[in-house]
Each structure stands twice: as structure tokens, then as C-alpha cells.
Amino acid sequence: MSTKNQDNLHPATIAAQAGGLLDTGTGGVVPPIHPATTFVRDETYTPSVDGNVYSRSHAPNGRMVEKVLAQLEGGAESMVFPSGMAAVAAVFRTVPSGATVLVQSQIYWGTTAWIREFCTRRAITLIEVEAADTDAFAEACAEHKPHLAWVETPSNPWLRIVDLTACADAVHAAGGLLIADTTAATPILTQALSFGVDIVMHSATKALNGHSDVLAGALSCSDADSGIWQAIRDDRNMAGAVLGPFEAWLLLRGMRTLPLRVERMSSNAMKLAEYLSDHPKVESVLYPGLPSHVGHALACTQMKGGFGPLLSFVVKGEAEAALGAVARLQLFHRATSLGGVESLVEHRHTIEPHTGIPEGLLRVSVGIENVEDLKDDLGQALGQ
């Protein structure tokens, strides 16, 4: 019987097997936690094991996660960080003062707010554009020649879909690089590097871990020898934005069920989006799986096997009606985050009152519960 090429394994196999990682010291099928911060050298002062020197630069558990994530992304290398925002910051710290960056408008507010402040401090010109409008994005690239462009797809909380190939072509023609935040899609649904993206970013706190108990971020690249990747690696090593061993171990443990969780969450989200679309108390539903969504056709080409756990919908009656529905929900936890096994709901206008979010908009992160229970909960909260 032939042995399957390890380079051609499906994501579900890579994840479940943790990329083939085992505890070689004991034969355990679960990789161990390595809490050591420093590692011994032999008599010639050569590192004794696998190049391990010091955990800020050579953390075994972090490298385990990076190995599996790079395989899932179809990338050359990955790096993990202590939060998603630490990963965002690592990218932008490579931008020289006086340069120009292009950033998608109306994405995750934490990213936007930090980038605005950072660019002001560093005298970096920031151009914000609706990247889901491919023509507008291409025109901005041609006019401003950005050092790099940052996009998010599906976007949070608007669920807009960005044409990654078209955006990569536009920014590359202008001499820049394309960075994509695909946290809401995960590499299970979208391998962004295959569409020409140079670096893909994830808040690993979300679906990659999936259990709401780890704060982490990740970057993956298509070219590990590129100048920006080496600059990010050097900065992480020197500045110390590294993920702790226990968090890395938990993240790897969570990633082993990532394909199963994404499949169930996407299926549940699709069914809820369809249910809400026909609900008399709902004004509109934002979910790329719906044929009525403006980015549906594009999402079908970029997202394979589902459309993710994140959806937003606008309740008729604005803030009063939306907050009333949220108060009546019994299964959806009122909490900030997405991608966990438990379903969450958030009234975005309360969180971001000055960003143009409709007062009636509710953002839902759909978990892995029985979808009929979730549907019933939404029904009783909205009122039939």
C-alpha cells in the first residue's frame, strides 16, 4: 500500500495530527509543554538540541504551532505573537517613517484605531479606502504607491468581501505588498496566500484557538526570505513579542479541531442567516453565504467549504429594539469576540458609537451548538 505524500495531506488531517508532532521523549501522542526559558550548550558551546538557545527567539511550543499553521496556510513560514494586535503592530513597524500605507476602511475598529495613531506618530501617510470596491482600491494604489496595503475579508462587522487577487495585482503593480487579515475565514476556508497575498494575519484568539481561553496572533508568509519577513522576525526576537509556552500549547490543542469547528460553525451560521433573512423583525442580514449578499459570488471563489461563523443583522426599531432582543437572549452570551465554540452576540453601536455602525446592528459569532436551539433563542428574543 502506498504512503500518502505528507505535502499533500488535507487540512483536517494536518490539524488532527498536529502536523505529525509527538512527544519523542516519551512516545506520547500529545506534544509536551516546554516551559524552559534557556537551553544548554555542549562543550564546544554549540546548542545541544535543535538550535534552542533562548525562548524569546527559539521557543519550542511556538515553533510547533508555526509548523502546523504554515501547513494549513500553504505558506513558507508562520510566526505567532502574544495577541492579534501584536501581529498587526509587527507588520506596521516595518514601514519606514514618511512612507504611505493603504488600509481598508470600516474593518475591525481596534486595527483602524491603532494604525491611525501609529501612522500619526511615525509621519506615515495613511490612505483609507473601501477595498471591497476593487476599482477604488486599484485607483488608490496607482495614485499613492503605498509601501503596503492592509485588507480584511470577510470584514468585521460589515462582512464585506475583498477580491484578494485583484488587490494583490494592484498593489504589486504599484511596488507594494498586500497584507490580509482573514481571521473570520481561517485558513480552512481561505488560503489567502494562494490568491497573491504576501502576508496573512490572524487573531489566533478567535477561531484558530476556538475556546476563548488564549490570547494570540499569527502571521504567515509566502516568501520567508523577503525583506519584510526578516524584519518582522528580527523585531519580534529583539522586542520580545513572543507567545508563552502554555498559550502556544493550548493554541495547538485548539487547532487540532479547527476544521471540524469551522465546518459546524459555518453550517450553523448559514442556517441562521437564512432564518433571519425571512424574519419580520429583521431589516437586513449581512452574511456572504446569502445569494443576496453583494460579495456572494466572490466569496464562493475565495471561501471553500463555508462562509465562516461571523454574521451581522440589523433589527428593525434601531437601538431600543436591538438591545431589547439582546437582553432576552438566553444561549447567546453578551460578550466581545468571535470564533469560539460558544455563540456570542454584540451590539456594535454600543461598542463603537462613532464609527457609522447602525444602531440596530447586532454582530453574532455562531458557535457549534445545535442550530435549532440557536434559532429558537433568536426567535423568542426577536419576537415572532
Instruction: Determine whether 135 is an active site residue.
Output: no
Euclidean distance between CA atoms 342 and 339, whole angstroms: 8
Euclidean distance between CA atoms 260 and 14, whole angstroms: 12
State the distance between the two ends of the chain, measured CA to CA, in whole angstroms: 58
Number of CB atoms found within 10 A of residue 175's CB: 10
What is residue 235's three-state secondary structure? helix
**Grid cell digits, residue 2:** 502506498
Euclidean distance between CA atoms 240 and 39, whole angstroms: 17
DSSP percent split of the chain into helix, strand, coil, nearest 5: 40, 15, 45
Residue labelled with grid coordinates 555542549: 42
What is residue 171's three-state secondary structure? helix
Checking DSSP bridges between strand 333-334 and strand 344-347, what pairing results, if any?
Answer: parallel
| CA geometry: angle 48, 49, 54, nearest 5 deg | 90
From the candidates 108, 163, 264, 377, which is the catalytic residue?
Answer: 108
Instruction: Determine whether 233 is an active site residue.
Output: no
Instruction: Determine whether 223 is an active site residue.
Output: no
Instruction: Determine whether 181 is an active site residue.
Output: yes
Checking DSSP bridges between strand 282-286 and strand 199-202, what pairing results, if any?
Answer: unpaired
In this structure, what DSSP letter does residue 316 have?
T
Torsion angle in degrees (nearest 10) through CA of 188, 255, 365, 198: -50
Query: Where is 204: in which H helix or E strand?
Result: none
Euclidean distance between CA atoms 211 and 251, whole angstroms: 9
How far is C-alpha 43 from the geometric centre of its chain's CA atoms?
Answer: 44
From the candidates 163, 181, 198, 377, which is the catalytic residue?
Answer: 181
**Grid cell digits, residue 243:** 507567545
Checking DSSP bridges between strand 100-104 and strand 333-334, what pairing results, if any?
Answer: unpaired
From the candidates 160, 163, 198, 206, which is the catalytic residue?
Answer: 206
In this structure, what DSSP letter does residue 93 have?
T
Q: Of 170, 173, 167, which Cα lies nearest the Cα of 155?
A: 167
Catalytic machinery residues: 56, 108, 181, 206
